[in-house]
Amino acid sequence: MSPALVAVGYIVRLNISFLVFLGGVISWYVGIPLYILLRGAPEELSAVQIGGEIWSSHIRYLGVGAMIVGGLWALVGLRSALGQALEAALEAFKKGSTSLSTTSRTELDTPMSWVLIGIGVMTIPIFLTCLTHIKDVPITLFMS
């Protein structure tokens, strides 16, 4: 077990760790046997090689799809909170630095203009990093 895996487990806690583990169990003990039952096993491979081949070429994408659906479901569940946060951010951006003298320093948020500048600046290294791996400008623009 790697230190990075332990750190991720600590961050996401037991509930999410259990769901990730359960996804792996379902993939290996339900998904792969079901795939072999419906499509047959590749010829001239050992059982370990068959499992690895089917997992890497087909079953893995099932997990990615489940993560995408879960992420979209979380966004749907948070839509009202995200809307309120966006409204507050736009209001703060319009106000600028007014009424700072009455607010405690620890109660102040980072100005929205700084946040937008930071997002713009950080998009450049993200774009360049993705471009070195993907080597396709339209997809890289979409991803960054």
**Cα pseudo-dihedral 72, 78, 81, 86, rounded to 10:** 0
> For residue 82, is pLDDT > 80?
yes
For range 77-99, the mean pLDDT: 80
Count of other CB atoms within 10 angstroms of residue 92: 17
Q: Report in angstroms the alpha-carbon separations of 104 from 89, 94, 108, 110.
A: 19, 20, 7, 13
Q: What is the mean pLDDT of the chain?
A: 85
Q: What stretches of 3-144 show up as alpha helix (H) in DSSP? A: 3-26, 32-39, 47-54, 60-77, 79-95, 112-134, 137-143
Question: In this predicted model, what pLDDT tens digit does every residue of 93-134 receive, in sequence order?
Answer: 777 655 555 667 777 778 888 888 999 999 999 999 989 988
Cα–Cα distance measured from residue 33 to residue 27, given in angstroms and rounded to the nearest whole number: 9
Higher pLDDT, residue 34 or 23: 34
Nearest to 51 by CA among 62, 37, 41, 64: 41
Distance of CA 65 to the CA centre of its chain: 12
For the four alpha carbons of 121, 125, 126 and 131, in that order, the dihedral sign comes to positive
DSSP state of 70: H
For residue 50, the model assigns a pLDDT of 93
